[in-house]
Structure 1
Amino acid sequence: MNDGGALLPWLVIRQDDNGNRYRVGRYATRSEAQKVADSLDDRAHKQLYWVERVGRTATAN
């Protein structure tokens, strides 16, 4: 992992209604990433957003 992974270890992932997954952004803290995921999840239609730590797979919210 490069230096960016050490500084921004939290990812927000989006999954669309076809099952395609995309990285939305990287964040320094889980709290910051969760806030973004929650905000996107509140206004999205047929999209699923969740937070993962780099190198680990988390469960969807």
Structure 2
Amino acid sequence: MYEIDWKMVVDISQVISSAAVAVVFGYIVKTFLWARRSDQIELAEGVFGEMQRELHREV
């Protein structure tokens, strides 16, 4: 039978859980930073949309 190296299993699970926590924390921080600038983003999206319409009109 195979011997299970429990220390390695614990190390791998800690790495996976640390990565998951880092991803969730990064997503939360990014979401709050974007939420603070949501007005600027909506303005930029409006300008970008206008630019796209102008490009399609010229073509």
TM-score by length of 2: 0.30
Structure with larger Rg = 2
TM-score by length of 1: 0.29
Between structures 1 and 2, the one with greater helix share: 2
Between structures 1 and 2, the one with greater strand share: 1
Whose relative contact order is higher, 1 or 2, with alpha carbons under 8 Å and at least 6 apart? 1
